Amino acid sequence: MSHLEPRPFTVSARGPLRGTVTVPGDKSISHRALMFSALAVGESRIEGLLEGEDVLATAAAMRAMGADVARGDDGVWRVHGVGVGGLLQPQTALDMGNSGTSTRLLMGLVASHAITATFTGDASLSGRPMGRVIEPLSRMGADITASPGGRLPLMVRGMNPAVPIEYSLPVASAQVKSAILLAGLNTPGITRVIEPVSTRDHSERMLRGFGAELSVEDAPQGKIISITGEAELKPQHILVPGDPSSAGFWMVAASIVPGSEILIRNVCMNPTRTGLITALKLMGADVAEIDRRDVGGEAVADLRVRHAPLRAIEVPPELAPSMIDEYPILFVAASFAQGRTVARGAHELRVKESDRIATMRSALEAAGVHTEEFEDGLAIHGSGGEPLAGNAQIASKLDHRIAMSMTVAGLHVRAPVTIDDASPVATSYPDFFHTLDALGTPR
């Protein structure tokens, strides 16, 4: 899964973007759909699965641990699970490619099974710390040997039976929460996660759907999520809604390119994922929700986005957990706003596929944007809707969201912008560039 040959991409200003987009299936939901289906007894069917490299890494790992995972000619994925507690010893290392979600959640799964798994990844993933997952899983009894700094490659020796714990998350992280809950699935007793700041809740929703005994209660210290172990999961038919993170690129593109109007179909509107929409509306973006409905337990809507002048705001820091993956594209929107936008409260960006605060600052500065860097975010002085200078060489740092965000920025520039390596885009949005071509033509 490693990217051996960089693939540069040059983007120039384009005329109005117009058309209808169906974004890939939600990445977070796709990962979980495969994992939970692999732990159910019987056949689950998954429609709309994101077929990017990150999710395919999860599919391969579940196959390696005994599940039958196959894509039919009809595009439907069918998974015959092994049951909770039934994971088999993988015969080779599990290659996670660039996927932090796969790594952290699967570490949780392995932690309470009597198997040993080695996790490897590409250069970007191998630079990301896993200590925040290692700590609680070690408390549950797993023996984890990591490379220096708590990084990949690492080995997880599961403990069975594992020890149920009550764990308060020191940082807001849906991945850490989910890893503990997944370990708790095969752990006798009740495992509890205390979440002082709410994060995306796809794991909780889907685990309940599969039949796990899981409760969520509000308490003074935050949400308390409790899962009863030794569960028996029942196979499901899952419809994966469109990824709001992927939709975010087109929302911002339509907002900043004059004359644009885009309809984005079937976008997941889970309230823990709509922070970018909230922030863009505060900035004056013209985003309309059409035909809001429920699909497979998740709220879904079509989004119509039209070009509109954006104004600078102070981004409410409480939005951070519901838009942590969308900060890079929010920074792009801020680059075209009138005034100085301040976006803070996003410490988590420092440990994503790249240090997204530093990487986006360098990229935007190269394109002619004046920024100020904080430990937890950026201040961005916008152009007031005018094109950026462009004429820039952008380092994507093997980060798919940096590459796509700066491609969007390059749609309204005076001189072309070149991304040094666009190949990481395949990890989450394989058709991104084809969709861009379909929506608009070069000037």
Tokens of residue 256, six digits: 């900043």
Q: How far apart are CA 44 and CA 345, in angstroms?
A: 39
Compute the C-alpha angle 235/238/239, nearest 5°.
Answer: 170
Are the C-beta atoms of residues 25 and 241 closer than 8 Å to each other?
Answer: yes
* Number of alpha carbons in the 13 Å side-chain half-sphere of residue 297: 15
Q: How far apart are CA 265 and CA 302, in angstroms?
A: 4
Q: Which residues pair with 214 in a beta bridge?
A: 227
Identify the pLDDT of residue 441: 61
What digits encode the pLDDT tens for the residues 304-322? 999 999 999 999 999 998 8
Mean pLDDT of the chain: 95
Output DSSP code: residue 52.
S
Are the C-beta atoms of residues 161 and 187 closer than 8 Å to each other?
Answer: yes
Q: Say if pTM beats, i.e. exceeds, 0.85.
A: yes
Q: How far apart are CA 57 and CA 305, in angstroms?
A: 33
What is the assigned CATH class of domain 27-239?
A: alpha beta
Position 353 pLDDT exceeds 90: no
CB burial of 192-203 (b: ≥16 within 10 Å; e: otherwise) equals bbbbeebbbbbb
Position 259 pLDDT exceeds 80: yes
Tokens of residue 157, six digits: 């020796």
Handedness of CA 87, 89, 91, 96 (dihedral sign): positive
Q: Is 291 designated active site?
A: no
Residue type, position 164, single letter: P
What digits encode the pLDDT tens for the residues 111-162? 999 999 999 999 889 998 899 999 999 999 999 999 999 999 999 999 999 9
Higher pLDDT, 25 or 354: 25
β-strand pairing of 222-228 with 214-219: antiparallel
What digits encode the pLDDT tens for the residues 388-422? 999 999 999 999 999 999 999 999 999 999 999 99
Please spell the DSSP secondary structure of 189-216, one letter per residue: SEEEEEESS----HHHHHHHHTT--EEE
Identify the pLDDT of residue 196: 94
State the binding site for 3-phosphoshikimate.
Answer: 27-28, 32, 173, 175, 325, 352
User: Choosing from 286, 302, 325, 431, which is the catalytic residue?
Assistant: 325
Identify the pLDDT of residue 2: 44
Identify the pLDDT of residue 440: 81
Q: What does the domain layout of the chain look like in residue ranges?
A: 9-25+241-439, 27-239
Q: Which residues pair with 415 in a beta bridge?
A: 390
Look up the CATH architecture of domain 9-25+241-439: Alpha-beta prism (3.65)
Position 442 pLDDT exceeds 60: no
Using the structure block, give the residue that is written with the tokens 């990962």: 31
- Give first-to-last CA distance, the chain, whole Å: 36
Identify the pLDDT of residue 4: 56
What digits encode the pLDDT tens for the residues 279-307? 999 999 999 999 999 887 789 999 999 99
Enclosing H/E stretch for 117: strand 116-120
Higher pLDDT, 70 or 428: 70
Q: Do domains 9-25+241-439 and 27-239 have the same CATH topology?
A: yes
List Cβ neighbours of 147 (8 Å cut-off, separation of 6 or more): 126, 153, 154
